[in-house]
Chains A and B, each alone.
Chain A
Amino acid sequence: MNWFRDFLLPKSAASNTGDVDGLFMFITWLTVFFFFFNGGLIWYAVRKWRRRSNDDITPHITHDTKLEIIWSVIPLIVVMFIFFWGFRGYVRAWVVPNDALEIVVTGKKWVWEFEYPDGSRSLNDLHVPLNKPVKLVMHSEDVIHSFFVPAFRIKRDVIPGRYTELWFTATEPGVHQVYCTEYCGKGHSDMLARIFADTPEQYEVFLREGDEQVRKMPLKELGKLVYENKGCATCHSIDGTRGQGPSLKAIYGQQITDAAGKSHTIDANYIRESILNPQASVVAGYEPIMPTFQGLLREREILGMIEYIKSLQ
């Protein structure tokens, strides 16, 4: 009867789905059984005791306590059984393993944004390693959304003003569909995302070079994305105003003097060093507060940043 399960449910792709599928199929069979059981009884009664004439005499039966107790107790047992089965699955889906990889999910009209532990972000595409528990910490910027992955049998609302969590361990490599299942307006049905369950090799590539979206992006645009997403914007402006750090506008090719009195030309190497090892030369007049981005930016992102700064003339 596996074909029936595969007809009713999407192919399971996570570790905890067995419990859910088992219960689902149990209740399905229960429903099928009672449909045919009740239908059969009715059919039998109608065939056998169809009215023959208007003076048919029927027995006067008002009740049968024993029978009635039986058909109250049997459903009671059945539903209690279902309750505990469902509860078990729910608890398993509730308790997050400690070693889970944490990813922050932001829902907003009508995109999903994922933020990885290294601070990199992506829209609508989420990469996760296979066979490793992953925990999603989710919140919404506007209305309620809901994060639903049918293949993992998980779903939880994404609520403004509060965080909710969801976890899974993907067991099937490939792409899994994510839907928004809480009605959120015009773009509700297009608020889709994909989860890429990566093999270790694929995940390596992803960690090193970012996801496909990033890999295909022109360098300059990638730089802009990094500037906006990695926190550069909090200290550096691009319009020439002074922030906690110097503005990045039109600095490429300029000469600057650092706190130690040495002067530098701002070129690709200088920018790279400023990002990876900012304290090596601190621009005169600024505090040495810029954190290092060693390990937080991928090589291609640094190249992108350089291109982006170049473009800010």
Chain B
Amino acid sequence: MADAMTPTAAHGHPDYLSENKGLWNWLTTVDHKRIGLMYLWSVTAFMIIGGLLALVIRLELLTPRQTIMSAELYNRAFTLHGAIMTFLVIIPAIPAILGNFALPLLLGAKDVAFPRLNLASLYVYWIGAAMAVSTLLLGGVDTGWTFYTPYSTTTGGGVSMMVLAAFVLGFSSIFTGLNFIATTHKLRAPGMGWFQLPLFVWGMYSTAIIQILATPVLGITLLLLVMERVFHIGIFDPQLGGDPVLFQHFFWFYSHPAVYIMILPAMAVMSEVIPTFSKKSIFGYKAIAFSSVAIALLGFLVWAHHMFVAGMSLFAGAIFSFLTFFIAIPSAIKVFNWIATMWRGSIDLKVPMLYAINFLLIFTIGGLTGLFLASLSTDVHLHDTYFVVSHFHYVMAGSNMLALLAGLHYWWPKMYGRMYNNTLATIACTLIFIGFNATFLPQFVMGSRGMPRRYYNYLEQFQTMHVASTIGSWILAAGLFLALATLLASLRKPKDAVPNPWNGRTFEWEAGSPPITHNFEHTPVCIYSPYDYREHPVPIAEEEKSAH
């Protein structure tokens, strides 16, 4: 992006990993890169916990009736799986790991706007995580991650604690979002206008809008739920004149936009990885940028599509269904733009690109199955069946996890200054793709055949598909563990990564691998478009002149 290549450590500054070693220095750091890494390992830990819970769930579902645990335990298991995966894994995953690590680098900034708030967000995350895990000691939570009233106000166990944990985790998410918006506005490198922002930044920015606007409503919803449990304030209790379905409005006003907190960052990663490995300018920069914002804003208008069968009125149902469909348009635009980016490029099938291609395929399925659910009459049949479970695993577990892995493999050399074993990582990627589809494709079929979700016991007729799904989950787990092991193994080598291993054009590749604490030896200046892959890039200023 800038003219000069800064060689690593030319001035003799140690990189951010080597400087000020020691646990205490890490725990008190305000360096966005270190915070990103601490998020990485925290989230990975919870992903493993959540994933093991998923394996346990799948094992229980191997046979009808009791296989390895009781109904009560099963209900606690899927609730904890859902809550951990959403609140502790996927919402922080890409923004807090890759966003924290890469966003200031991509902007050519020294840090995020509020570094100490950034560290606070990590601590808040840890507190929330500790609270969530502590519910295990309080007897577990058996409400499902959606906490629907009146079940959640009447059941025992650690519901209040889990709800407060989600409340606390909300703040962590708000802090991150707030930081990203302020950073994008105020800390861009000289010369970097809005349309020279790398698209990753646009994606993070749109995500942050949702984090800021929606998360507080989740906060107040959860507080109301706790109040209902402790004080019986009555708002969700039909016997006291309240309305249990009102809770669902409150919950989904946050949680639908929240699903775009999960996918927009994934799309943001795609917009970096695909041009880099196609060695070609991103196709339709503005369309992708505006689609991100459009998805973020439209996402606020459709929440009640989760409630089509909850006794909603005909009109309300029709309006919410109608609006839901509009989100498919910006999503479609993005998918086609990415494919067009690959068209006539020079496609290098390195590991991040493989993950990106897998993402495209899996997101196509995940997104299009959303249309079954957005359409009124088919949703009536499919609501709360395994079809929905499969839909959201395709978009959350599939798309987001693949994008996280793509981004991780993409920026890994930057993070740790080391290259991983390409062959092993490719095998892992293949296993994940096969395992993922083997796990979740059968779930579409059993769902449309009527298998309800959150069922510990099921009718014999569904067993074949449950068995297939369970076996798939083992392949998937094997792939994920292999991917993790490959990355970890690379850490035992000396640092061998060059500053720009993939020939990327964005600023982070001008910093060292790994970068120094303040990122750049010299503040970079934005002269070329971040996606100009020509042999002789044309400065933006000239390009604009010739356009007139």
Contacts and interface: CB of A to CB of B under 8 A. Distances in A.
Chain A in direct contact with chain B (Cβ < 8 angstroms): yes
B42 interface: no
A162 B385 CA distance: 24
A50 interface: yes
Given A8-B449, A56-B279, 15 more contacts: A34-B368, A35-B364, A61-B280, A71-B333, A71-B336, A79-B371, A85-B375, A143-B150, A146-B384, A154-B381, A183-B75, A186-B71, A186-B72, A187-B71, A189-B455
A161 B244 contact: yes
A200 interface: no
Contacts of A72: 329, 332-333
B267 to A, nearest CB: 15
B148 A58 contact: no
A225 to B, nearest CB: 28
Contact of A161 (B239, B282, B532, B535): B239
Interface stretch (A24-32, A268-276, A277-285): A24-32
B346 A155 contact: no
14 contacts: A7-B445, A20-B381, A38-B339, A42-B360, A51-B279, A58-B278, A60-B534, A62-B531, A63-B286, A82-B325, A87-B377, A157-B310, A181-B384, A182-B148
Given A49-B344, A60-B281, A144-B148, A161 B311 contact: no
Nearest to A33: B368
B523 interface: no
Given A46-B357, A54-B503, A160-B238, A63 B284 contact: yes
Contact of A86 (B345, B378, B454): B378
B317 A24 contact: no
Contact of A9 (B144, B309, B448): B448
A150 B378 CA distance: 11
A155 B377 contact: no
Nearest to B343: A45
B458 to A, nearest CB: 7
Contacts of A241: none
Nearest to B284: A63
Contacts of B155: 185
Interface of A: 7-10, 19-20, 23-24, 27, 30-31, 34-35, 38-39, 41-42, 45-46, 49-52, 54, 56-64, 67-68, 71-72, 75-76, 79-80, 82-83, 85-94, 142-144, 146, 148, 150-151, 153-157, 159-162, 164, 177, 179-190
Given A58-B279, A184-B151, A38 B364 contact: yes
A156 B365 contact: no
Most buried by A among B342, B371, B445: B371
A13 to B, nearest CB: 12
A160 B318 CA distance: 24
Contact of B244 (A35, A159, A190): A159
A61 B245 CA distance: 51
B114 interface: no
Interface of B: 71-72, 75, 142-144, 148, 150-151, 154-155, 238-239, 243-245, 278-287, 309-311, 314, 317-318, 321-322, 325-326, 328-329, 332-333, 335-337, 339-340, 342-349, 357, 360-361, 364-365, 368-369, 371-372, 374-381, 383-385, 445, 448-450, 452-459, 503, 531-535
A63 B75 CA distance: 50
Contacts of B245: 144, 157, 159
Contacts of B154: 142-143
B343 A35 contact: no
A83 B371 CA distance: 9
B343 A68 contact: no
B314 to A, nearest CB: 5
Contact of A89 (B336, B365, B377): B377
Those 6 A-B pairs whose CB atoms lie nearest each other, nearest first:
A161-B238, A89-B377, A150-B450, A86-B375, A56-B346, A90-B376
Given A63-B283, A182-B384, A177 B459 contact: yes
Nearest to A7: B445
Contacts of A39: 361, 364
Contact of B150 (A75, A87, A160): A160
